[in-house]
Amino acid sequence: RQKTDGMELNFQQNMSDAMAVLPKLSTGLDVNVRFSAVTDFEYTPECIVFDLLDIPLYHGWLVDPQVPEMVAAVGKLSYNQLVEKIIDYKHSADSTQVAEGNVHTPSMKQI
């Protein structure tokens, strides 16, 4: 299949990004899970290695669908977004937000 100049430049950039990530494989990669599906991640530069090699990436951090208030509170947030939300809510002047921040915390320990 014919590659356009743009496709070639994109591939070269992806390869360069992947080569920069490879040394991190010995100590671990920074991936940011989303709690809605086992294949749902926030994109980080480390994900390029898996994309280029066509390796599926999975995690087991899911919200229990039988706890609707947890599903509603977490939504499609990533781990980092959820941690920020918990911190913000726990320090809020709004008592409803403080209560919701406290709902998140036990579930994070269970995951």
- Please report, for the chain, the start and end positions of each structural domain, with discontinuous segments joined by +: 1-62, 63-111
What pLDDT score was predicted for residue 27? 84
What pLDDT score was predicted for residue 109? 42
Give Cα separations from 15 to 6, 7, 43, 57 (angstroms). 14, 12, 16, 19
What pLDDT score was predicted for residue 19? 84
Which residues of the chain, if any, have pLDDT below 50? 107-111
Q: In this structure, what are the phi and psi dihedrals at residue 33, rounded to the nearest 5 degrees?
A: -70, 155
6's tokens? 């743009």
What pLDDT score was predicted for residue 57? 92
pTM value is 0.66
What pLDDT score was predicted for residue 110? 42
What pLDDT score was predicted for residue 39? 93
What pLDDT score was predicted for residue 111? 40
